[in-house]
């Protein structure tokens, strides 16, 4: 990562609403220039920085320090950074004013006018706190400290920690999603969840309130014919209310027709509206029958791509909303119908575009790699918050809490690790019973709704031989070499479940002159040129297509990132081979006939 010169602002960066699944008309975007200070010696609190930063630089929020878009330098070994901004005026008066930070990595403390108002752990989950009790006559000062560690006891994903694998990337620290203010009443809609029953043609809307209340809730659903449907009920002293609407001849959400129904939710007390939010939903069902994956009751073959979600100028953060939309469009243009967001919980704006454009998404929790009580606590809390944040999005068709036993290396010998994975599966199903859960993607199946394997075998014969052995005995190792991993743990038999190849491909091709082949990471042998790259891709997709047991695949990967040069696109989203040629191969995979 690099940083630029002093920022020259031409407008508010990332000005769009950061939470499109739940909006109110009034809000204030705080992205832009903030005072900024690195704190490599972690002396800021002792020296009174919550009251004022000494000789600060400038950073452009919401971009992490050290990225080009942030315009702020930050040493990679710095483990604490500070932000400060003064608010001259607020264009509202309300019962509460919420300060939102979409995400900040990893531990965040917030002060308002010198008073500590919030402390949050987790680099991916949203931060929300009511700052109204601490506001005074204008101006008001916000100070934010974000600290991080290099420990693998915390969920880090692909960020390099105190050791670096060939598949890890430069780490980040600090704010990396939009900061914003929102005026709200004390009793308000805090979240909304949707559950659609295809057989009954019934939509259940679960409205989460900020506190227990007797308020009335009214749901308005706008139908394709322009006629609204209404349902109203009382909270009756509860903080969550489920209301259902029967929908005749529903227009179902599908990648080929991603129709969204506008939703308005109103809170009413004494026939007076006290809160109103705009939302949307897509009506669709997910189920498994006879080892097939069913979308809206019909079999669907998952043609997926592994997507790391990194961007050249902003690293974790796209510099524009259009860049997020472009990633969804490119994924679809390549012929994929699914993105597995790998080791990163994505910006909700990406999910919004996936909802609108018809791309299915697997949301995956960034892993830690050292099992400990700290990892159990942090991962459970953050996973719960993220499932709650995103489960209203129709594009999400799967949850992935663990990848390749990272942080659960010894499940077969240490019962507490296997219990942890199984417990997260059941917790996820309790939070959201409507979606499949891939508990531990790649190998060592214990619980889960699909059986997923990571295999980089390069020929049809090798792939089919490996899968045949595993389906005869899932406890067999899925790959050769040191540290072998079994397809399933003792006592678990996933052979009745849909079988998916959720990492494959990984073919490398160097297009960045700054990366030599000796420094690059990829799978197999390096093709000599673009023609050989396309031929190798076709050979592997033919092998997948010839394997009738598979119900889908996930190709490694969408783009290059740093030393990983196994993307179908380079890091700047340029196709390495003609996009239409790739699309033809990918779209035909899973259709039955051998590819030409």
Q: Distances from the Cα of 562 to the Cαs of 364, 368, 504, in angstroms?
A: 21, 21, 20
Residue whose tokens read 């295999």: 455
Measured distance CA(374)–CA(378) in Å, rounded: 6
Q: Which long-range contacts (CB under 8 A, 24 or more apart) does 49-58 make?
A: 49/82, 49/143, 49/145, 50/111, 50/114, 50/116, 50/143, 50/145, 51/114, 51/143, 52/84, 52/141, 53/82, 53/84, 53/143, 56/82, 56/84, 58/6, 58/7, 58/33, 58/34
Is residue 70 helix, strand or coil? helix
Contacts of residue 481, Cβ cutoff 8 Å, sequence gap at least 6: none
Q: What is the pLDDT of residue 528?
A: 87
Q: What is the pLDDT of residue 2?
A: 46
Q: What is the pLDDT of residue 461?
A: 83
**E strand segments, 149-300:** 174-175, 179-184, 189-197, 202-213, 216-222, 228-234, 238-246, 253-254, 257-258, 261-269, 272-281, 286-289, 292-295, 298-299
Q: What is the pLDDT of residue 8?
A: 56
Contact in structure between 489 and 445 (CB atoms under 8 Å): yes
Which two structure tokens, joined as six digits, stand for 223? 């139908």
Which two structure tokens, joined as six digits, stand for 9? 């602002």
Q: What is the pLDDT of residue 479?
A: 80
Measured distance CA(191)–CA(211) in Å, rounded: 12
DSSP state of 519: G
Measured distance CA(391)–CA(433) in Å, rounded: 10
Q: What is the pLDDT of residue 9?
A: 55
Q: What is the pLDDT of residue 457?
A: 79
Measured distance CA(391)–CA(5) in Å, rounded: 40
Q: What is the pLDDT of residue 159?
A: 94
Contact in structure between 302 and 47 (CB atoms under 8 Å): no
Domain topology for 28-184 = Jelly Rolls (2.60.120)
**Helix 415-431 and helix 373-390: axis angle, to 10°?**
20
Domain ranges for the chain, please list them: 28-184, 189-281, 295-588
Dihedral pair phi/psi, residue 46, rounded to 5°: -65, -30
Q: What is the pLDDT of residue 462?
A: 85
Contact in structure between 558 and 305 (CB atoms under 8 Å): yes
Which tens digit of pLDDT belongs to each residue from 168-219?
Answer: 999 999 999 999 999 999 999 999 999 999 999 999 999 999 999 999 999 9
pTM of the model: 0.96
Residue 543 Rama label (left phi>0; alpha psi -120 to 50; beta): alpha
DSSP state of 154: S
Nearest alpha carbon to residue 508 among 496, 497, 519: 519
Q: What is the pLDDT of residue 517?
A: 63
Domain topology for 295-588 = TIM Barrel (3.20.20)
Which tens digit of pLDDT belongs to each residue from 213-260?
Answer: 999 999 999 999 999 999 999 999 999 999 999 999 999 999 999 999
CATH 2.60.40.10 is the classification of domain 189-281: yes
Cα-to-chain-centroid distance, residue 124: 8
Which two structure tokens, joined as six digits, stand for 47? 């020296």
DSSP state of 226: S
Q: What is the pLDDT of residue 510?
A: 86
Which tens digit of pLDDT belongs to each residue from 46-96?
Answer: 999 999 999 999 999 999 999 999 999 999 889 999 999 999 989 898 889
Contact in structure between 403 and 441 (CB atoms under 8 Å): yes
Tell me which residues of the chain have a pLDDT lower than 50.
2-4, 6
Which two structure tokens, joined as six digits, stand for 150? 């290099």
Q: Distances from the Cα of 454 to the Cαs of 70, 408, 444, in angstroms?
A: 36, 17, 11
Contacts of residue 49, Cβ cutoff 8 Å, sequence gap at least 6: 37, 39, 82, 143, 145
Terminal Cα-to-Cα distance of the chain (whole angstroms): 41
**Helix 321-333 and helix 348-357: axis angle, to 10°?**
40
């Amino acid at each position: 990562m690099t940083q630029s010169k002093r920022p020259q602002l031409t407008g508010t960066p990332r000005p769009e609403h950061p939470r499109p699944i739940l909006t109110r008309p009034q809000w204030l975007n705080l992205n832009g220039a903030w005072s900024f200070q690195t704190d490599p010696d972690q002396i800021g609190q002792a020296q009174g920085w919550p009251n004022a930063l000494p000789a600060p630089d400038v950073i452009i929020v919401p971009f992490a320090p050290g990225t080009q878009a942030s315009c702020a330098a930050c040493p990679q070994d710095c483990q604490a950074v500070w932000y400060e901004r003064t608010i001259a005026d607020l264009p509202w008066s309300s019962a509460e004013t919420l300060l939102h930070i979409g995400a900040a990595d990893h531990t965040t403390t917030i002060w308002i006018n010198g008073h500590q108002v919030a402390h949050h752990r987790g680099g991916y989950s949203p931060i929300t706190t009511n700052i109204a009790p601490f506001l005074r006559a204008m101006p008001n000062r916000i100070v934010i400290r974000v600290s991080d560690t290099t420990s693998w006891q915390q969920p880090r994903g692909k960020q390099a920690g105190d050791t670096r694998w060939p598949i890890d990337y430069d780490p980040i620290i600090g704010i990396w999603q939009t900061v914003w203010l929102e005026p709200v009443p004390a009793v308000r809609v805090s979240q909304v969840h949707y559950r659609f029953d295809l057989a009954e043609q019934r939509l259940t809307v679960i409205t989460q309130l900020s506190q227990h209340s007797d308020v009335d809730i009214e749901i308005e659903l706008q139908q394709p014919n322009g006629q609204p449907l209404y349902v109203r009920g009382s909270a009756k002293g509860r903080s969550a209310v489920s209301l259902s609407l029967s929908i005749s001849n529903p227009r179902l959400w599908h990648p080929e027709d991603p129709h969204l129904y506008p939703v308005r939710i109103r809170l009413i007390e004494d026939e007076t509206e006290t809160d109103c939010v705009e939302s949307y939903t897509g009506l669709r069902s997910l189920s498994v029958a006879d080892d097939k994956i069913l979308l809206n009751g019909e079999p669907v073959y998952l043609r997926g791509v592994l997507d790391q979600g990194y961007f050249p100028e902003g690293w974790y953060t796209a510099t524009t909303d259009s860049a997020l939309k472009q990633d969804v469009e490119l994924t679809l243009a390549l012929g994929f119908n699914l993105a597995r967001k790998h080791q990163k919980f994505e910006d909700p704006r990406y999910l919004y575009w996936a909802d609108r454009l018809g791309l299915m998404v697997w949301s995956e929790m960034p892993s830690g790699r050292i099992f400990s009580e700290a990892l159990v606590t942090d991962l459970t809390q953050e996973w719960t918050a993220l499932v709650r944040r995103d489960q209203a999005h129709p594009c999400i068709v799967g949850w992935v809490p663990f990848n390749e036993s990272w942080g659960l290396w010894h499940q077969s010998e240490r019962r507490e690790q296997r219990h942890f994975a199984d417990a997260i599966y059941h917790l996820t199903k309790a939070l959201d019973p409507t979606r499949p859960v891939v508990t531990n993607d790649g190998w060592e199946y214990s619980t889960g709704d699909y059986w997923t394997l990571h295999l980089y075998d390069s020929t049809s014969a090798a792939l089919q031989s490996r899968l045949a052995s595993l389906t005869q005995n899932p406890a067999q190792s899925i790959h050769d070499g040191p540290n072998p991993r079994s397809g399933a743990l003792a006592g678990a038999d996933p052979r009745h479940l849909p079988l998916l190849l959720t990492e494959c491909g990984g073919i490398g091709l160097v297009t960045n002159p700054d990366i030599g082949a000796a420094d690059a990471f990829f799978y197999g042998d390096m093709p000599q040129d673009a023609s050989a790259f396309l031929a190798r891709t076709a050979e592997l997709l033919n092998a997948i297509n010839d394997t009738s047991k598979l119900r889908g695949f996930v190709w490694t990967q969408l783009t290059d990132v740093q030393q990983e040069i196994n993307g179908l696109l380079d890091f700047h989203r340029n196709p390495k081979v003609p996009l239409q040629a790739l699309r033809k191969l990918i779209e035909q995979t899973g259709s039955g006939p051998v590819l030409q």
